[in-house]
Amino acid sequence: MPKVKVALIGVGNCASAFIQGVVYYQKFSKPEEFVGLRNPVLAGLSPKDIAVVAAFDVDARKVGKDVSEAIFAAPNNAPKVADVPALGVKVAKGPLLDGLGDSTKAIVQVSSAPDADVTKVLKAAGAEVMVNLLPSGASQATQWYAEQALAAGCAFVNATPTFIASDAAWAKRFSDAKLPLAGDDLIDQIGSTALHKTLLKLLSDCGVKIEETYQLDVGGGTESVDTMDRTRDAKRQIKTESVAASLPYKAEVVAGSTDYVDFLQNKRDSYFWISGVYFLNAPMKIDLKYQTVDAPNAGSVLFDVVRAMKLALSKKVKGAVEPVCAYGFKRPPQIVPIEVADKEFAKFVA
């Protein structure tokens, strides 16, 4: 198939890791060289088949710049791993709407440039897959961009916790437009939620009865600020439901973000506590800390999702693509165990 033409909504840290990843992995050809990718080739597509053709943001330090330059502009603080050549794609000014919360207003410098005609830009660029990387609290903006995807005839990937794919009305609109949709709330490659679910399933499969468990995240970066300001409760609900679904019985489960620490930059610290009983009702407890770099954690999953959405377009799949949603997102239309999601996704892309 031809290249996957991607439009990025929001040129923040995740966009930086995604674009750096496209450049970084292009120089490899052997499967063993693709360290860090779950699927070096998916549906016949490798990273070199992914092309960013359009990008939108509101920050004056990014708007009007080539996307290769914009991804390293403040307030982005994702680590620089690859030298990205000029891509010939300038960041267009998107509408602000509810893209900023009270806390991020002091961090983002809103551009005074006029808003671009987003649908026109998408059509001119030949964009096929729109990836929504807006802050978690930008619900109005997320819905607005979903409208632009429908108008431009693009598949839509919603990486935010705003309900789009898991909302029956939105799913129907994309189905009626004969366009694929995936979401909601992108899962990390090796994120705390996936690790938590895996630990609980392993213990439960071994006969341990989990009684109580929590997972709390502390992070730096603009997204963490926005989460604390506007979406902590919503993200906690999504994460808690996702983690609880890994157990075949009810237990006391809490999972979600708890605080922002500036000097962590783009890193995230996750704390897990698990309490249960096993043979002869003997007590068992796990208390651990886990640290990751936030932005790269989205890259591998996004690579898989955008390639799967290109496949969905070629197959003329319409509406919420359930195997892709369950595989790549914390809040798909139907929450299923990890092993079921992986199996269904493998069948879809086979």
* From-to residues of CATH 3.30.360.10 in the chain: 192-293
Nearest to 104 by CA among 16, 11, 218, 227: 227
* From-to residues of CATH 3.40.50.720 in the chain: 4-187+296-349
**pLDDT for the residue numbered 260:** 87
What kind of fold does domain 4-187+296-349 have according to CATH?
Answer: Rossmann fold (3.40.50)
CATH: 3.40.50.150, 3.30.420.40, 1.10.287.110, 3.30.360.10. Which one for 192-293?
A: 3.30.360.10
Burial 150-186 (b: 16+ CB within 10 A, else e): bebebbbbbbbbbbbbbbeebbebbeebebbbbbbbb
**pLDDT for the residue numbered 2:** 66
Percent of the chain clearing pLDDT 70 (strictly above): 99
| Torsion-angle region of 349 (φ positive above 0: left; ψ -120 to 50: alpha; else: beta) | alpha
**pLDDT for the residue numbered 189:** 92
Contact criterion met (CB below 8 Å) for 131 and 6: yes
Q: Cα(279)–Cα(345) distance, rounded to whole angstroms?
A: 36
The overall pTM is greater than 0.95: no
| pLDDT of 16 above 90 | yes
| pLDDT of 323 above 60 | yes
Nearest to 93 by CA among 108, 114, 109: 114
| pLDDT of 72 above 70 | yes
DSSP state of 65: S
Question: How many residues are listed for the chain in this entry?
Answer: 350
**pLDDT for the residue numbered 30:** 86
**In this predicted model, what pLDDT tens digit does every residue of 228-281 receive, in sequence order?**
887 788 889 888 998 999 999 999 999 988 788 989 999 999 999 999 999 999
| pLDDT of 327 above 60 | yes
Characterize the bridge pairing of strands 267-277 and 209-219: antiparallel
**pLDDT for the residue numbered 194:** 86
What is the residue-averaged pLDDT of the chain?
Answer: 94
**pLDDT for the residue numbered 181:** 98
Q: Cα(270)–Cα(174) distance, rounded to whole angstroms?
A: 36
| pLDDT of 1 above 80 | no
**In this predicted model, what pLDDT tens digit does every residue of 43-61 receive, in sequence order?**
999 999 999 999 999 999 9
**In this predicted model, what pLDDT tens digit does every residue of 184-201 receive, in sequence order?**
999 999 889 889 999 999
Contact criterion met (CB below 8 Å) for 278 and 208: yes
